[in-house]
A and B are shown apart, each in its own frame.
Chain A
Amino acid sequence: MESVIISVLRRTIVAGTPLLLGTLGEIMTERSGVLNLGIEGMMALGAVSGFIVTYTTGEPWFGLTTALVMGMLISSLHAFVSVKLGGNQVVSGLALTMLGLGISGLWGKPFIGKPLAVKMQPIHIPVLGDIPLLGEVLFRQDAFFYIAVVLGLCFWFLLSHTRWGIEIRSVGEYPLASETQGINVHWVRFSCVLLGGALAGMAGAHLSLSYSKSWTEGITAGRGWIVIALTIFSLWRPLRAFTGAFLFGGIFVLQYLLQPLGISPSFLAMLPYMATLGVLIAGGVKRERRRLQEPAMLGEPYVR
């Protein structure tokens, strides 16, 4: 029984990691006032490029770096259109999703079904990894998980206790006011979109290098949309993203576990969205928009 629990929890962590990475990136992007609906596409591109590089070089860290750079590259398109040109963020984000999915399908065609010979090795953290149960679940994961956790803590600290954090949040709340304070609004927004792209790319690499260790078209399976829901669910706070990502990760694992018991996996697949709707409804019913903490100028282009 204990081994089942450990296995479920371990898989929950693994399933939640890409969600956490993606959500952290989207939180930073949205906090600066830019909505990026292109997560799904950025993840797919990260997954395929990470896989191809790892497959050909045999070095997963190269793959991870490539995925990160590709994520930034494709997100720079969104940044250019929505920040620099002041275009519609929804349209540009959706275009990014389609573009990313398209490119990844094309590039990945020759690699479908090829298994990865090397993979990210789990890292056994000394001492902590020897704690029963907890150690096995939390401290014997691969690098992706640790990176995500460290980034999450960094982002939380950055947003709430540094000057940069105040600048990013201010740009998302009231760009004109930030500009009059000598902040370069476009630069801040551009950087945040690129940061979000890098993390989405990394999330994609996790899927192809660590989660399934192979490439198939549609590997992201809607995780990009869950990330967007999760960003709202986390109320744009990095620490809450942890709860959300691993909760939703757990639902992924449950899909497989509960299927034999006659519970439809489609029902469980629906849960993350239901939970997000619930959060929105709860926030709406209270009529206290301020408690929802949505960046006030989210989705509004800033053109001086």
Chain B
Amino acid sequence: MKKILSLKMEGITKAFPGVIANRGICLSIHSGEILGLLGENGAGKTTLMNILYGLYRPDEGTILINGEPVVLNSPRDSIRMGIGMVHQHFMLIQNHTVAENITLGYKDAPFFFPLREVEKKLKGFSELYGLEVSARKAVWQLSAGEQQRVEIIKALFRGAHLLILDEPTSVLTPPETADLFEILKRMAKEGHSIIFISHKLEEILTLCNRVVVLRKGEVVGEADTREVDKVALARMMVGRDIVFDLTRKKLTPGDPVLEVDNLTVRGDRGEVAVRELSFSVCRREILGVAGISGNGQRELVEAITGLRPADSGTVRVAGRDVTNSSARLISDYGVSHVPEERIKFGVVPNIMVYENCILKRHHRPPFFRGLFLDYDAVKEHSSRILKSFKVAAPSTSVPVKNLSGGNIQKLILGRELAGEPCLLVAAHPTYGLDVGATEYIRTQLLEHRERGISVLLISEDLEEIFQLSDRIAVMFKGEFMGVIPAGEVNMEDIGLMMAGSKRLEARGK
């Protein structure tokens, strides 16, 4: 395997049915360089990198390594060329050990007893790059940061010279991100080339030497990171100036609407996911729960909305004990829910828009009359939602799966807020949405807060938490490491709390 001294992609075009994901893209990188690839969700970054990794074949364009054209038909070809990729969703087998995962792609492992050899070699690697992992642990026992290290080691084991990282920091705590950056800089110094995909401007500016900006499948700009600033990059990425600050009116919170007391909930594997948690959310208040996914946020949300039984403790909504009540009852009491996996739990993709608009309320008037549904009322209701929440849909009589992610999310939000709930539980409401839809949804949340509902906001996006929350709680391993009023936050503290190495006494309760 020859070393990759330079790599060029020229005129890459790739179309999927209905969309052109990449159009005439050119980029180049040389050894020792860290190249940032910046763009919004759906800008075509991942498609481009999947082409480079051999998962997709481009419709047009050529890839040159060290000046010679190459054809990459499958990941196997790319691996042979020395290209390694760390995917956004880790390509790790959860039930297998670290060593087994590494062996999978390591062709030089002996056929018999391959793990022994791999474990031996792993030690050397860990020391060389400062990548600590234990070989015998199963992947599901590792933190996200550790899993990412395994991914990087996997690529290095196969002798990758060019490493592609797709949104690598989205699952990391700030300290873990800092560690990752150290590792990457060390690798670049050793002569590796790194392509770093992100939509976070600060990260690109701190880590990368050069940045290429994509928008709607095309390269819209390229710059030396020493010569641009955040605002200029943002303009390139979005195509217009964007507002970094939303205005949040000062409101005095009212009576508590949601009261959680000593709540303990178990996760899918029977482990304690939420541990003796107590907090409350008041009227006209947004409580933001920050933290890395997988620290019990999902279980907390499911216990509050009645989707998962609580082991002990109580959940009260507007003074009424709803612990372990059915999801329908809780919904009828005025608890709305924007779930984290919108396609799986938020809508029924194959049924019509108008039918989706009355889910959870189909058993009540005016939609339900005697034995039948009143379809006129249903359709009228749904067109009202489409209009007031700016959902772009050809009509109410199309299956929801034909809508884009942003429009589906607006539809869900509209449906959930239409019933005039007293509490909205919103889990990762803007995850994976473009800047426009994100802005809209955040504004809506603030508007409804002013109208008097309370919101429990779960998010990994710290920017979102800061923009919206009146109080911020940081969740780690099923507990709140602290609850801080929005005015008193300190980035460093939040980072430490997310990593579980700092705990503040609850204040402002």
Contact = CB atoms under 8 A, between A and B. Distances in A.
Nearest to A297: B93
A165 to B, nearest CB: 9
Contacts of B87: 180
Interface stretch (A63-71, A117-125, A283-291): A283-291
B55 A304 contact: yes
A184 B100 CA distance: 17
Contacts of B93: 169-170, 173-174, 177-178
A182 B112 contact: no
21 contacts: A162-B111, A163-B103, A163-B110, A164-B111, A166-B100, A166-B104, A169-B93, A169-B100, A170-B96, A170-B100, A170-B104, A177-B93, A177-B104, A178-B104, A179-B74, A180-B105, A181-B75, A181-B105, A182-B75, A289-B269, A296-B94
Contacts of B270: 286-288
Interface string A264-304: 00000000000000000000001111100100100000001
Please give me the 10 A-B residue pairs with the lowest Cβ-Cβ distance, nearest first: A181-B105, A177-B91, A182-B76, A173-B93, A287-B270, A181-B104, A180-B91, A163-B114, A174-B93, A182-B79
Interface residues of B, number: 33
A182 B111 CA distance: 16
Given A161-B112, A180-B85, A166 B94 contact: no
A167 B104 contact: yes
B109 interface: yes
Interface string B58-83: 00000000000000001110010000
A106 interface: no
B95 A173 contact: yes
B95 A166 contact: no
Interface in B81-133: 85, 87, 91-96, 100-101, 103-105, 107, 109-115
B496 to A, nearest CB: 32
Contacts of B96: 166, 169-170, 173
A174 B90 CA distance: 11
A149 interface: no
Interface in A161-201: 161-164, 166-167, 169-170, 173-174, 176-184
Interface string B36-60: 0000000000000000010100000
B376 interface: no
Contact of B92 (A177, A286, A287): A177
A290 B95 CA distance: 8
B126 to A, nearest CB: 20
A179 B130 CA distance: 28
Interface residues on chain A, size class: 20 to 34
B154 interface: yes
Nearest to B50: A180
* Secondary structure dominating the interface of B: loop
B268 interface: yes
A176 B100 CA distance: 16
Interface of B: 53, 55, 74-76, 79, 85, 87, 91-96, 100-101, 103-105, 107, 109-115, 140, 154, 266, 268-270
A293 to B, nearest CB: 8
A183 B112 contact: no
Contacts of B100: 166, 169-170
Contacts of B92: 174, 177
A166 B269 contact: no
Contact of A296 (B79, B95, B103): B95
Best-buried of B96, B104, B114 by chain A (most CB within 10 Å)? B104
Interface string A112-150: 000000000000000000000000000000000000000
A289 B268 CA distance: 8
Contacts of B53: 180
Contacts of A293: 95
A244 B319 CA distance: 55
Given A163-B114, A170-B104, A290-B269, A180 B94 contact: no
Nearest to B114: A163
Contact of B114 (A162, A179, A304): A162
Contacts of B268: 287, 289
B113 A161 contact: yes
Contacts of B269: 287-290
A184 to B, nearest CB: 8
Contact of B91 (A164, A166, A181, A304): A181
A183 B107 CA distance: 10
B94 A181 contact: no
A183 B113 contact: no
A176 to B, nearest CB: 7
A116 to B, nearest CB: 41
Nearest to A183: B104
Contacts of A176: 91
A41 B390 CA distance: 56
Best-buried of A170, A178, A181 by chain B (most CB within 10 Å)? A181
Contacts of B79: 181-182
A170 B154 CA distance: 15
B485 to A, nearest CB: 39
A181 B75 CA distance: 7
A217 B135 CA distance: 53
B95 A179 contact: no
Given A180-B85, A288-B269, A290-B269, 10 more contacts: A161-B115, A166-B96, A170-B93, A173-B94, A173-B95, A173-B96, A177-B104, A181-B79, A182-B74, A293-B95
Interface string A9-50: 000000000000000000000000000000000000000000
Contacts of A288: 269-270
A182 B109 CA distance: 14
A13 to B, nearest CB: 30
Contacts of A173: 93-96
A182 B105 contact: yes
B378 to A, nearest CB: 33
Nearest to A161: B113
A166 B55 contact: no
Contacts of A290: 95, 140, 269
A142 B373 CA distance: 69
B109 A163 contact: yes
A162 B74 CA distance: 24
A200 to B, nearest CB: 27
A181 B79 CA distance: 8
A174 B103 contact: no
